[in-house]
Structure 1
Amino acid sequence: MSPKDAVPAPAGTGADAPAEPPVLRFEAVRKTYGRSLVLKAVDLDVPAHSVTVLIGASGSGKSTVLRCANLLEEIDDGAVFLDGAEITDPRADQDAVRRRVGVVFQAYNLFPHMSVLDNITLAPRRVHGVARKDAEERARELLARLGLGDKAAEYPDRLSGGQQQRVAIARALASGPRLLLLDEVTAALDPELVGEVLNVIRDLKADGMTMVVATHEMGFAREVADQVCFLADGVVLERGTPAEVFGAPRHERTRRFLSRIVEAGRL
C-alpha cells in the first residue's frame, strides 16, 4: 500500500495535493532474537485516525511489531517512520519519539506504591515538564471519562483488573500521544472485565485516536478495526478490511487460523 492509497487527499485541496503520510509505517522491518527470526520483512501502513488490528498465533510477532514501533526493540534491518520521519535512524531522538507514542501492555505496569493520580501524572510532570496542577487536572479529566473519577486517591492493588487496565490507558493518554499501541490489553482480565476495556477502545476510536491493537479478541477486531493484519512466519501475510480478512480470506494460512478461532468459539 502506498502513502497515496493509505490516506485520501483532504477535501478541497485538489487531486494533485500531496497525500498525508501514514502516522506509522514499517518498511521491510526485520527483527531477530538470537537465532530466532521473529520479523522477516514486515511492511505496514497505519493511516491517521484509523485502527489497525494485528492478529495471528502466539509467537507470530504481534507484540514485537508494537515494541519496534515504540523503539523498545532495536530493529535489525528496514525502517520505521512516524509521520514520515524515520525514527529508526540512529540520529533520531528516541525520547522524543516515545513522548509521541503511548503504549499499554498486557501487564498493567502500574507503580504499586503510588496513587492512581500519581501514576498518571508522573510522565507528564517528570518527562514533559507539565506543572503538577495542569497534569492533575488532565488526569482527573481522563479518569472521569474512563469511569474512574472516584479512584484518583486509590492505590492499584485496591482496584479490579479492569480498573487497573483503564488506569494504564489513562496514563498512556495523559501525554497526548499521536499514536496509541495496545498489546493484548484484555488477555490478563477475567471475562466479565474484558468489556470495560473494550468499551474504552471503542470510545477512543470514535474520538479519532490512531491505534494499533494486538489482540486475540476476534469479535472485537471485527467490530472496531479499519484494517486487519494477519501475521505469520514473520510477515504480514494478509491485510484488508474486517469483511475481507474474516469474511473472505485469500490465504490458506489465514483460513486455517480463523477456522481454529471459530472452533474455539472466539469468532
Structure 2
Amino acid sequence: MDEVAFVPVPTLPALTCSGLRKSFRGGLVLQDLDLDVAEHEVVVLIGASGSGKSTLLRCINLLEELDDGTILLDGEHITDPRINPDTVRRKIGMVFQSYNLFPHMTVLENITLAPERVHRRRRAEVEAEASTWLERVGLGDKAREYPDRLSGGQQQRVAIVRALVNSPRLLLLDEVTSALDPELVGEVLSMIKDLKTEGMTMILATHEMAFARQVADRVCFLDGGRILEQGPPEQVFGSPQHPRTRQFLRRIIEAGRL
C-alpha cells in the first residue's frame, strides 16, 4: 500500500486586519493597514504619538468604526455591521492607559460589573473567577477595597484583571504604563510577562522600548497610519531597515529610553 503523505492543515491567524482605513476630521489616521496576529503571539506597536497605534487598537475592539477594511477574529468577520459589538468584546479584552475604574465601586465590583450586566453571567461564577485572578496577581486582599486606596500599579493590575475575567481570545493593551510613576511600572510589566508565558495572544502599544524588546515576538513600527517596518525585536531594534524607523529609534536612544 502506498503511503499517504501527511499534509498539515494551515491554521488561521487569531486576528487578520486587511486594508484598514480610518480618518478623523478629514485626516487619515490609518492608511490601508494590514496586520496578522498568530495564536499566542505578542505583537508590540511602537511609533511616535499620532502614528495610529491607539486608533488601531480601538478599531479592533470596535470602539471606533472603520471607514474601510475588514477585521477577522478566528476567521469571523467582526466588522460586519450585523455583528453585535458586545458579543465581540467578550472575546477581546482591552486595557487603557487610564485605569477607568469606577471610584464608588470596590475592586471586585469593578471587575464583575460588565460580565454580570452586559454578558449576563452568574454573579457567583464571575466573583469566583475574579477572586482567582486577584490572587494570581497579588491583590487577593484588595477585593473589597476602593480604587483610591490602591497605588497606580495596583489599579492598573485591577484593570488588566477586569479585561481577563471573561477569558478573552485576544488582549489589547494601550500604553498601560504611561500613567504610572516609574517605580510602579515594573509590577505591571511583570504581570504582562506572565501572561505571555501562559500563551495569551496580545497586541500592545507602548513607549517602553526596553520592555517591548523583552516581551515582543514581533515589533511593528507605525508611522502616518501605516506599518512601515515589522520583524523580531532584535531585527527592528538592532538593525532597522527603514530610514524612518532608524530616525525614530535614534531619538529614543538619545532620550535614554532604549
User: Is the contact made by 1:39 and 1:61 (CA closer than 8 Å) also made in structure 2?
Assistant: yes
- Which AA in structure 1 matches 2:30? L
Tell me what 1:20 maps to.
11
Q: Is the 8 A contact 1:50 1:211 kept in 2?
A: yes
For residues 227-263 of structure 1, give each alpha carbon's deviation from its aligned partner in whole angstroms, at most 9, with x where no partner exists.
1000002100000000110111110000000000001
Determine if the alignment matches structure 1 residue 239 to structure 2 residue 230. yes
1:208 Cα deviation from its structure 2 partner: 0.3
Selected match of 1:133 from 117, 121, 124: 124
**Mapped contact 1:123–1:175 kept (Cα < 8 A):** no
- State the Cα RMSD in Å: 1.0
Whether the 8 Å CA contact 1:125–1:132 is kept in 2: the answer is: yes
Q: How does 1:244-255 map to 2 (within 5 A)?
A: 244-255=235-246
Q: Deviations over 1:87-138 (max 9, x none)?
A: 1111222221111000000010001110001111111212222221111111
The aligned residue for residue 52 of structure 1 is: 43
- Identity percentage of aligned residues: 65
Structure 1 counterpart of 2:168, from 177, 196, 202: 177
Q: Is the 8 A contact 2:86 2:118 kept in 1?
A: no
Deviations 1:55-77 (A, max 9, x none): 00000000000000000000001
| TM-score scaled by length of structure 1 | 0.93
Give, as a single letter, the amino acid of the residue that structure 1 aligns with 2:109.
D
Q: State whether residues 66 and 181 of structure 1, in contact with CA within 8 Å, keep that contact through their aligned partners in structure 2.
A: yes
Distance 1:185 1:231 in 2: 18
| Residues 216, 15 of structure 1: alpha-carbon distance in 2 compared, 3 angstrom cutoff | farther
Q: Is 2:95 the partner of 1:104?
A: yes
Q: 1: distance between equivalents of 2:7 and 2:53?
A: 36
Cα shift readout 1:163-221 (whole Å, capped 9, x = no counterpart): 00000000000111000000000000000000010000000000000000000000000
Counterpart CA distance in 2 for 1:95 and 1:18 is 31
Q: How does 1:178-217 map to 2 (within 5 A)?
A: 178-217=169-208
Give the counterpart letter for 1:219 in structure 2.
A
**Correspondence 1:260 to 2:251:** yes
Query: Which residue of the other structure, out of 82, 106, 116, is the alignment partner of 2:107?
Result: 116
Residue 31 (structure 1) aligns with: 22
- Return the alpha-carbon distance in structure 2 between the equivalents of residues 50 and 213 of structure 1: 11
Query: Residue type of the partner of 1:64?
Result: T
Q: 1:116-161: CA deviations, max 9, x gaps?
A: 0111111121222222111111111100111101100000011110
* Counterpart residue number, 1:168: 159
Q: Counterpart in 1 of 2:213?
A: 222
Which residue in 2 is equivalent to 1:158? 149
Q: Which runs of 5+ in 2 are unaligned?
A: none
* 2:74 corresponding residue in structure 1: 83
Q: Distance in 2 between matches of 1:114 and 1:234?
A: 37
Question: TM-score if structure 2 supplies the norm length?
Answer: 0.96
